[in-house]
Amino acid sequence: MKNLLPFIISFFLPGAGQFILKDFKKGGIILLVDIVSTYLIFNIDFLDLIPLWFPHIIIMIWALFDIFDKIEKRDGKKSATRYLAFSLLIVVILFPLTLTLLTTGIFKGAEFITNEYVNEDRTKEEMNKISTELSLYKNHYGVFPENYESFIRRKPIWGSWKADS
């Protein structure tokens, strides 16, 4: 894991992986170049033609190759290649998939809560149904039911009315 972490972190923040490998000078240079290039693209008008992600990708590749070289010298080419491949798998497939599932779950959950519990029209519609059923009960028996819970248990479909009342 200690060899995988520099690769993964460098995908998001080029230069940070060098800090983990204790190469503070190279890590500082890469990080500074990334920050300066991002600043220049935001603040110099003619650089608006360059997509914001482009310099980051170039600098990220530089940082990854540097980490690969360091790990290759220390642990061998096979080990460095394996860590690079695993980090690519994590960053390119697993991280976006996890993020997608998380955001989808949050948005679908919020949509469900909004539709089921916060939807004013649905609540009014259910309250009108409850009122209608209570009126029909009163018309049939001459009085309102003594126990509301036993009234709604008469039909299983009315079970959600207990929470709405």
CB atoms within 10 A of CB 56: 18
Place of tokens 């976006």: 96
Query: Considering the entire predicted model, what is its pTM?
Result: 0.57
Contact between 59 and 34 under an 8 Å Cβ cutoff? The reply is yes
Give the model confidence (pLDDT) of 92-137 as tens digits: 888 888 889 999 999 998 888 887 777 777 778 878 888 888 888 8
Residue 91, judged by CB atoms within 10 A of its CB (0-12, 13-18, 19+), counts as middle
